[in-house]
Chain A
């Protein structure tokens, strides 16, 4: 309790003296890889719609976490994982959340998608990862997004019955 107060006051003092920045952390497109997942031979046409209440990706400490066009990145990963077939129904995948959260010694990234299929109840998939943050450099921070995205894509694969049919 006392240590929290001291830490809080120290943070404020550092902030006022300019030692803590509120400048956004911008993750470059080159810092993040496309996920290395096998291409499934299971046909799953997914079209992603951005339905997030806010397009912001959360904060790390006092700084906004920015990455240009996360929905595009996610759509690309879905397209890489699943086989797209013409003349087959396109499922609507709604992106509901994508954000980073600062914990005491770790960071978490959450990404949530809701799948809508005509005549079936909606299905919710969440990719989330929590890990220690050591250096805070671009590639380390981008890895949080990558890991959560991989988890999400794999949960969709399992949930939609496309997990064990891979083709190259």
Chain B
């Protein structure tokens, strides 16, 4: 149950990760993952969906629908110049190449193959087809927060026997995993969050990102790719874990397509960037100001 819940929370809501960290294990050579299922449910950079809370009742629902639809339209119009600028960037490919170079040899075979899935149905089928074998799963989301005050890249990473079963209609269903089997997979979410300095209203913010052929956005995507690949390498060598003893601080984080503050453990600081851990979520971001 936890595993399917995780898949959908992470992959579709673009949000969180597994409820707990598993220890990394050194797999026998023939048991290492030979394939990685890559799930990306977007074709261009996206903007998180604005959330309006207009209160309860039918009237609240109607007001929410009207206001949110107007905000959706505004944001979809605002993001166009940014999308046009990044049309030929091929971010997905650059991200995959960086990740592949960072895959730990202890769990991945060197001649790794990517299985690219772009919709939930294909992604679930890929899990059913690989049931019983060790494989990797990476979901990617790259987007702006709904006010365009942040650009972030989020990647969920899993490896192990992640297979699902098929019911009599061929629909994917979770398989029972005992405690001993549960330790066979690793799961974590890496974030790289880039808040915009001196941000204002959403339309002004997106202009800042898109200015000069999208210089700021391109730099943020390059840095995010480097940071996530590095996190993957480090984290699989020695898990970067939440430390309950560390004093908690506030960080900027996009969360279930919204912007909130989290109180989490600070792992390290580097040039105004901070590395924080919140359960199995490891993120490079900036302190909340």
A binds B: yes
Q: A114 — nearest CB in chain B belongs to which residue?
A: B87
Digitize B1-42: 1 where CB-to-A-CB distance is under 8 Å, 0 elsewhere.
Answer: 100110011001101000000000000000000000000011
The distance from the CB of B47 to the nearest CB of chain A, in whole angstroms, is 9
Digitize B60-104: 1 where CB-to-A-CB distance is under 8 Å, 0 elsewhere.
Answer: 000011001100110011001001100110101000000000000
* B239 lies within 8 A of chain A by Cβ: no
- The size bracket of the interface on B is 35 or more
Stretch at the interface among B48-56, B152-160, B208-216: B48-56
Stretch at the interface among A39-47, A76-84, A122-130, A157-165: A122-130
Given the complex, which residues of B lie within 8 Å of A103, measured CB to CB? 49, 68-69, 72, 76
Digitize A33-51: 1 where CB-to-B-CB distance is under 8 Å, 0 elsewhere.
Answer: 0000000000000000000
* B171 lies within 8 A of chain A by Cβ: yes
* A110 lies within 8 A of chain B by Cβ: yes
Contact partner of B80 among A1, A105, A106, A128, CB < 8 A?
Answer: A128
A108 touches B76 (CB 8 A): yes
Q: B67 — nearest CB in chain A belongs to which residue?
A: A105
Chain A residues 84-107 with CB under 8 Å of chain B are 96-97, 99, 101, 103-106
* A119 lies within 8 A of chain B by Cβ: no
Q: A18 — nearest CB in chain B belongs to which residue?
A: B171
The distance from the CB of A14 to the nearest CB of chain B, in whole angstroms, is 11
A8 touches B76 (CB 8 A): no
Name B residues whose Cβ lies closer than 8 Å to a Cβ of A: 1, 4-5, 8-9, 12-13, 15, 41-44, 46, 49-51, 53, 64-65, 68-69, 72-73, 76-77, 80, 83-84, 87-88, 90, 92, 116, 118-122, 124, 171, 173-174, 255-258, 260
Some 5 contacts from A to B, beta carbons below 8 A apart, are A22-B120, A62-B120, A97-B43, A126-B83, A128-B80
Kindly list the 10 A-B residue pairs having the minimum CB-CB distance in the complex, ordered from nearest: A64-B119, A104-B49, A22-B121, A103-B72, A106-B72, A130-B76, A4-B256, A99-B43, A130-B73, A62-B120
